[in-house]
Amino acid sequence: MNWELLGISIYVVGMIGLGFYFSRRIKNQDDYFLGGRTLGPLLATFAIFATWFGAETCIGTAGAVYQNGLSSIHADPMGYTICLLVMGLFFAKVLWSKKITTIPDLFRNRYSPSIEKMAALILIPSSVIWAGAQVRALGQIIHATTDFGPVLAVTIAATVVIIYTMWGGMLADAYADLIQGFAIIVGLIFLLVSIIYDLGGIESALSTIATDRLSFSGGDMLHLGLLGKLELWLVPIFGSIMTQELVSRVAASRSAEVARNSTLRAATIYFLVGSIPVIIGLIGVNYMPGLKDPETLMPVLAKAHLNYVFYIIFVGALISAILSTVDTTLLASSALMTQNLINPVFPKMSDRRKVLLARLATLLSGIVAYVIAFSSESITHLVETASSLGGPSIFVLTVIALWDKRGSTYNAMIAFVTSIIVWLLAHFLWELEYPVLLTVTTCGFSYYLSLLFMRESESVPELNT
């Protein structure tokens, strides 16, 4: 009997069952997307921690560090840890006070419905691409664990995730994140301790790490200029801080203080737990050299050096990490589609139909993510594309919307359009090393330059909170 497959199957069925259980509490879209805004400190902390702690953190980061050393940790765990710290210190309380469901809600209140829709159309692809990366990683785990081929493995992964996410909503997601968060921590610790033990202890394990792999500027960074290196570190911050995935967790907290403190606690946990794949990637080069696909490092190490019980715990942890991220991203894209694009067209729609619509939007997002899962050779590449796609422009305009009363729809429209055009040109046509930095600069500059051509009477009043 394939005990690994049996254990994984039981775990996945349990998570799906949890989703169906909490689906009974969903009465409206606020319950579906934000859990009724009732998350306390424990649930909020682990929900925020799980926002990005997925495939790229466990599998992608270990593989990237295996190849290039510490020069690969600009996104995970460092970039996203900084992102969470910035959110907690400067944005969580003020965003919670706005009582929004999505960031485009803020733009509708501050500017106009047209800016709301533009922001939603920019954010949706980012969430779906991110979900595609998680589905790809879950398929890799199933492929490495069973005799299923890659296509069938990804298909199974996508099916499981779509079913789980469609019915569970935010409240089921939050409780699942709590369970999955502990599973992630336990599973990663088991694997790290096992490897260190096999290598003869901590000193012996650390002694296998080559000095040149401890440089933050080695690997692919050697060929980048100063702006290019800065770009790599800032992509996860500018590109992710105002994503719907994170904002929804902040908005779902039961108070502003819970939102702020939970985000800061989540940042600490993210860094500590996220450092484990980094350590495994560093010592894995000598422990298991010559891997054809570095992204298989974690599953291969686990399968080779853990017994059945610990291996099932570890694989369950990886699946936990991925499920907790992918349901977040699918819910995010569903919220943007329904809350900001469809609901305004049908204002008299009943709550029951709105929930049904939300589930259908989640299904559509899952199908698109499944297609995207086959479109890239790297999980890390998918994630970084998702982070840089539109996120920097959203970040700049959110800062302006929250703290500057000057400007109107006219200015926001110009900033959006010019910055997105610049990003597309810099990323695909000019192939610059720093498209995100250029996008952020363009967005802010074009917004304030356009103020010179706006009449004083066009300034907007302060928003009520």
Per-residue pLDDT at 272: 94
Per this entry, what is the length of the chain? 465
Q: Look at residue 253 and give its three-state secondary structure.
A: strand
Per-residue pLDDT at 269: 95
Q: Which residues are within 8 A (CB) of 356 and not within 5 positions of it... i.e. 6 or more apart? A: none
Nearest CA to 277 out of 312, 321, 238 is that of 321
pTM (2 d.p.): 0.86
Q: Kindly report the average pLDDT of the chain as a whole number.
A: 83
Per-residue pLDDT at 464: 43
Q: Are 234 and 77 in contact (CB under 8 A)?
A: no
Alpha helix positions (H), 146-209: 150-198, 202-207
pLDDT tens column, 238-259: 888 998 889 999 999 999 999 9
Per-residue pLDDT at 387: 55
Q: Which residues of the chain are modeled with pLDDT < 50?
A: 1, 456-457, 460-465
Q: Tell me the torsion sign for CA atoms 44, 50, 52, 53.
A: positive
Alpha helix positions (H), 50-147: 55, 61-68, 78-86, 92-97, 103-110, 113-145
pLDDT tens column, 297-326: 887 888 777 777 777 777 777 777 777 778
Q: Could you give all domains of the chain from N- to C-terminal order, each with its CATH number?
A: 3-385 (1.20.1730.10)
Q: CA distances (Å), 404 to each of 99, 110, 238, 368, 369, in order?
A: 19, 10, 19, 37, 36
